[in-house]
Structure 1
Amino acid sequence: MMNRLTDHLIIISFDCLSALDFPIIKDFPHFQTILKNGTYVENVETIYPSVTYPCHATIVTGNYPNRHGVVNNTLLQPGMVSPDWNWYRDCIQGTTLYDEAKKANLTTAALLWPVTGKAKIDYNMPEIFANRPWQNQILVSLMSGTPRFQWDLNNRYGHIRKGLSQPELDDFVLESTVDTIKTKKPNLLMVHFTDLDTQRHYHGFSSNEAMAAIQRHNQRLGRILEALKESGIYENSTVVALGDHSALDENKAVNLNVLFHKKNLITANTKGKIINWKAYCKSCDGSAYIYIKDKHDTVIFQEVKNILDSLLDDPDSGIEQVLTGDQAAEKGADGTCAFMIEASRGYYFLEDFEGEYIKPITLEDTTADKKFTLACHGYSPEKEQYGTIFMAAGKGIKHITLPSIRLIDEGPTFARLLGVNLGSTDGRVVKEMLTL
């Protein structure tokens, strides 16, 4: 085993924290503590599609989605009103940072970290929600994580939470994190906060609500640093604050399935439920996969290609780029799709198959129906001004500013800090930031 560079690695994911947020966070005192003493990366290149579950699977594996297997937030389940998410560890192919840490007899803890349901993590409160009318939220969580650990935290801090609404959910996660640091002193702690992402979705990228969430994140970071000090492990800890993707404002939703429905590529019954499909547009918000049910059906493939070609010629179609499955795979996305499409700025994809091909989105829509948003992600990492952010300080970390790294580099770097190995990965260890 390699030498460990730190005793306690604390990875804090502030979902949707963007490289563009740096001018704001650099003046906040707790972010300053990290920035003054550690490594700051100006721009982190995310993955394609840049949505939360694939991003977090990449962070712990060092691999692109088509290699770790989590190619979207949700599963391909045409016709289901609320598709299931990639909640479970089984969705990830290959090893993870927490698997390797556990093999090395290190104590692991995760709080609302995506894709950790039923993972072998010592203290695990996975991100999972009751997705069927007969399910109970607390039970679903308990069954998918560490029951006693979660039960205790729910008893102590459950009153803070208001279902899945923010900022109360993050406030609950924060109290649970502080408690876990003080009582468990884990060698690896991964925590996921979604307050900022939620505010950006429903109020816009630079909204007052988003700015208030960044301020709350500064306070949360401060509480975590304080908990490390109170536990007596601060000097032997490494604290990482990172984003998984950025977001872009949009005000038009593209519903490609409406065209597929008109061309009888999607069949619905009289109650408006999909009963069969030949081609389907599966949204990743700023991008989308197009799947063909029978991959060998060249006629359907050509029909879909003709539809996409005609849309590409229309500047108001909301589609900026069309990739083949092979081209999508080259970018790390799901190569089993027939096509992958990228939305133009100001547009994103939904999966509706009835109504208009393009629906303008207003603030009223986002207030009335959580399906509609005012900012989203999922876009290509090649989009302008779309990078995320990384900062780390503490044991094993140099005081340095780096212009850029990739999201795939984070996992191997974390593994090196803990003295473990993720094997052959798409990403590399960023040795420049480590005191090797």
Structure 2
Amino acid sequence: MDRLTDHLIVISFDCLSSLDFPMLQELPHFAELLQNGSYCKNVESIYPSVTYPCHATIVTGNFPNRHGVVNNTYLQPGRPSPDWHWHRRHIKGTTLYDEAKKAGMTTGALLWPVTAKAEMDYNMPEIFANRPWHHQIPVSLFNGSVNYQLEMNRRFGHIRKGLSQPSLDDFVLESTVHTIQTRKPQLLLVHFTDLDTNRHYHGFSSDEAMDALRRHDARLGRIVKALKESGIYDQSTIVALGDHSALDESIAIQPNIYFKEQGLITVNNRGKVTNWKAYCHSCDGSAYIYIRDNNDHDTKQKVQQWLQELSQDESSGVEQVLTGEEAGARGADAHCDFMLEARRGYYFKEALNGGFLHRITAEDVKAKRYTWGSHGYSPEKENYCTFFAAAGKGIVPNQAIPSMRLVDEGPTFARLLGLHLGNTDGAAVEGLLTL
């Protein structure tokens, strides 16, 4: 299969929404990308529409029930900070960067989710120091390209202030620019989270979120400039995409409190979960319900009856209840017993204390116990699409694609690089490619 481009730069602006399109048209660097290339302002995300499943979908072309990353975090009942699906081993099957590496291409990724321990030339994975005795820098070094990360930290580490934004994305930007200038990778995956963070803690249309969009425009401009200064711009394809949208919320639904009251979750006097029969694993706008023992029909029946009552009560915040089979048919985890969808204005938390419904306060958000904006909702929610734009070598100019899906992006990237991801759930969007 012929390659359509020599260098593919994929930039994920986490939480970029189709509703941002009018503003993107007014921002200079996004506007230039739209004018020079093809775009789609109606990209259907996946279920659940959270960051790690989304990014695994982007590089595999498959839904979560096939690639295996069905949520951001592990099912670890009661743990205050559960582990995330940080590692490449969590993805079943091949990925875009695996196939590029096999084909002898130079590959790199900066804070791209689910890439810890991945085989890449220049890898700075997104992974947190999630234990009191861990330190962020050695955890990152151990799970990525050691010398490369040491160099980026030596050059630009002074910019970063832990995981806080916008400093983290500014650090990623400088590392990206330097990587393009000095390494000229043939595939580079970059993940920025400034917008997502601000939508969580300030709301979808907040001034803080709009400021993050403007910063993203400047970051896009810097990356394009680096490609030009490196002499590879004309041989490159640049992609700007979102993984999901977001919705404002003000009430948290906390099913585990009910399970605890019913004796289905047991905690000790320190509040630690010692046993559980049923557990709500949050995906923010949606949630999985797991019954621990498949043969515990009494618990399953009891939970099912309660969930049916919730779905019939609009004030519960639960819009829909799916069976595990129905969740699997939508691409989510078929191994769950139930999947819940929140109404607009609501989202799910795994809290074990408080009330079933918690009205969020400014103090809650300031303490980062709760948020004002969430994702994870069904991609069928109205006005909940994300965005895709591409320009450069291999891309048809001035083409508006009416609709596409997140699962189509991986196969499209593979086609650009002359690669194949196998039998995928998505298909290459040939309307934007110069085949």
User: Is TM more than 0.5 here?
Assistant: yes
- Matched residue, 2:141: 142
**How many residues were matched structurally?**
434
Amino acid at match of 1:192: H
**Helix, strand or coil: the match of 2:425?**
coil
Query: Structure 2: how far apart are the matches of 1:67 and 1:401?
Result: 30
Moved >6 Å (runs of 4+): none
- Matched residue, 2:339: 340
**Helix, strand or coil: the match of 2:8?**
strand
- Matched residue, 1:116: 115
- How far is the alpha carbon of 1:354 from its aligned partner? 1.8
Query: Structure 1: how far apart are the matches of 2:183 and 2:261?
Result: 57
**Helix, strand or coil: the match of 1:403?**
coil
- Matched residue, 2:157: 158
- Matched residue, 1:15: 14
Amino acid at match of 2:345: G
Identity of aligned residues (%): 67
- Matched residue, 1:376: 374
Within 5 Å, give how 1:76-155 maps onto structure 2: 76-155=75-154
- Matched residue, 2:318: 319
Query: Structure 2: how far apart are the matches of 1:171 and 1:312?
Result: 44
**Helix, strand or coil: the match of 2:147?**
helix
Q: Deviations over 1:77-128 (max 9, x none)?
A: 0021110000000000000000000000000000000000000011000000
- How far is the alpha carbon of 1:295 from its aligned partner? 1.5
- Matched residue, 2:212: 213
Query: Structure 1: how far apart are the matches of 2:270 and 2:178?
Result: 49
- How far is the alpha carbon of 1:403 from its aligned partner? 1.1
Q: Give yes or no for the alignment of 1:329 onto 2:353.
A: no
Coordinate RMSD, CA, aligned = 0.6
- Matched residue, 2:180: 181
**Helix, strand or coil: the match of 1:261?**
helix
Stretch of structure 1 that moved more, 44-53 or 359-368: 359-368
- Matched residue, 1:432: 431
- How far is the alpha carbon of 1:312 from its aligned partner? 1.4
- Matched residue, 1:36: 35
Amino acid at match of 1:372: Y
- Matched residue, 1:393: 391
Query: Structure 2: how far apart are the matches of 1:79 and 1:364?
Result: 23
- How far is the alpha carbon of 1:204 from its aligned partner? 0.2
Q: Deviations over 1:200-238 (max 9, x none)?
A: 000000000000000000000000000000100000000
Query: Structure 2: how far apart are the matches of 1:34 and 1:371?
Result: 38
Gap runs ≥5 in structure 1: none
Query: Structure 1: how far apart are the matches of 2:304 and 2:65?
Result: 23
Q: Give yes or no for the alignment of 1:302 onto 2:296.
A: no
- How far is the alpha carbon of 1:64 from its aligned partner? 0.1
Stretch of structure 1 that moved more, 358-367 or 227-236: 358-367
Within 5 Å, give how 1:224-373 maps onto structure 2: 224-368=223-367, 370-373=368-371
Q: Deviations over 1:40-89 (max 9, x none)?
A: 10200000000000000000000000000000000000021110000000
Amino acid at match of 1:327: E
Gap runs ≥5 in structure 2: none
- How far is the alpha carbon of 1:363 from its aligned partner? 2.2
**Helix, strand or coil: the match of 1:238?**
strand
**Helix, strand or coil: the match of 2:58?**
helix
**Helix, strand or coil: the match of 1:316?**
helix
Amino acid at match of 2:48: P
Q: Give yes or no for the alignment of 1:197 onto 2:199.
A: no
Query: Structure 2: how far apart are the matches of 1:43 and 1:316?
Result: 31
Query: Structure 2: how far apart are the matches of 1:335 and 1:208?
Result: 39
**Helix, strand or coil: the match of 1:77?**
coil
Q: Deviations over 1:13-60 (max 9, x none)?
A: 000000000000111111111100110102000000000000000000
Query: Structure 1: how far apart are the matches of 2:261 and 2:2?
Result: 61
Query: Structure 1: how far apart are the matches of 2:424 and 2:311?
Result: 35
